[in-house]
Structure 1
Amino acid sequence: MSKGEGKRSSKKCLAYVAAFVVFQTAIILVFALTVMKVKSPKVRFNAMAVESFSSNNNNSTSINMRLLAQVTIKNTNFGHFKYQNSTLSILYNGVPVGEVIVPRGRASARKTKKFNISVDVSSEGLSGNDMNSGVLRLSSRGKVSGKVHLMKVIKRNKSGEMKCDWSINLATRQVEDLKCN
């Protein structure tokens, strides 16, 4: 073996090592930009129904009802989302008429956690126009906060906000036009 062959093989080995390092750097960069990007979960009402309803139409109109709803927390991350107790509010014309506590829990990686809740809604002094129109417009607002855990090492604080609007047909006692953003 001559000196020229030894230099050539060491240069060849060095080129292979450099190519391997560049390849590994590219893989890590792609992994960091796609998998490690943490997104906020999506919180929504998936389905709603009126369980009970009563109204008093004297001088001031009041309602009492119980709503059953399915809440979904969609986690699109590659790590699980652990969230704390949160409050979702039911609003009529921006005024809270009901609240429900979302118990702390965990949404698995790339899964949607579904659970059912019931909320009591009661209000005094509703507009007679709304009651006479036969449609009661309600909305919900809330925020679910927690941490996304990636590979049991990386933890990022994230929160999902809920904003849903719907109507209740007073004649049929059905929830209509449920839209969540």
Structure 2
Amino acid sequence: MEVESSGRKNAKSMDEPASSAARAIRRRRKCRNICFAVIAVLLFIIILIVILAFTVFKAKRPVTTIDSVSLANLKFSLDVVRLQVLLNATLDVDLTIKNPNKVGFKYTDSSAQLNYRGQQVGEVPIPAGKMPADAAAPMNLTLTLMADRLVSDSKFFSDVSGGELPLNAFARIPGKVNVLNLFKIHVVSSTSCDFTVFLSNATVGDQDCKYKTKL
């Protein structure tokens, strides 16, 4: 009986290391499976984010447009004998920034300029702001023509004498689109409008606008 009892004890003592080794192997397999599952979930999330970033949330180009230009004020006199021009003009410019993205568009401080034959003759600031997704922000800007900058320009007297003053309104708005708080895409939207101020009847016509956006 003592021999039989001793044999059972020896068998039990031999089984214990084997059982411990099996449990260790099972733990390692379980940890490995959990790690694989976590890695798979992370890869799925990353792939999903990338797919959304390049499909639904793909950055689109915000567009800045000048909808209309009109004369708010005009004072004009021409002295042909002395070759002198007195001209004070204020223009109302209706401008719209359109954000076609599914995320917000944040733009920085910028300005709109009034130009005459390539020379800047007026400027108005455009303060920084933020637009929600799929939105449009209308703005009404007032540009004042600083005619004193044109006194020395020989073409200015010729244009005024002919009753037509060619001008250009230009706006450049830089900003960025933040996609899923992961990708910040810098954007510059600009618009340029050529138009003519008809001095005889104080109207604006021949408007030709071009729009450009860089990602």
Bin of the TM-score, shorter chain as denominator length: 0.7 to 0.9
- For 1:168, which of 197, 202, 209 is the aligned residue? 197
- One-letter amino acid matched to 1:94: G
Superposition deviation, residue 64 in structure 1? 1.5
Instruction: Give the TM-score, by structure 1 length.
Output: 0.76
Q: Percent identity?
A: 27
Q: Describe how 1:123-142 pairs up with structure 2 within 5 A.
A: 123=147, 124-125=150-151, 127-142=156-171
Counterparts of 2:87 and 2:67, CA distance in 1:
24
Superposition deviation, residue 164 in structure 1? 1.2
- For the pair 1:43 / 2:64, whether they are aligned, the reply is yes
Count of residues paired in the alignment = 163
Instruction: Give the TM-score, by structure 2 length.
Output: 0.65
Runs of 4+ in 1 over 4 A off after TM superposition: 24-30
In structure 1, stretches of 5+ residues that fail to align are 1-23
Greater strand share, 1 or 2? 1
Greater RCO, 1 or 2 (C-alpha within 8 Å, sep 6+): 1
Greater helix share, 1 or 2? 2
Q: Describe how 1:59-78 pairs up with structure 2 within 5 A.
A: 59-78=83-102
Q: Describe how 1:12-91 pairs up with structure 2 within 5 A.
A: 31-58=52-79, 59-91=83-115
In structure 2, stretches of 5+ residues that fail to align are 1-44, 211-215
Task: Give the superposed CA RMSD.
Answer: 2.8
Q: Point out the more displaced range, 99-108 or 59-68.
A: 59-68
Residue 109 of structure 1 aligns to a residue whose secondary structure is coil
Q: Tell me the equivalent position of 1:96.
A: 120
- For 1:155, which of 184, 188, 191 is the aligned residue? 184
Given the superposition, is the C-alpha separation of residues 37 and 135 from structure 1 closer, same or farther in structure 2, using an over 3 Å criterion? same
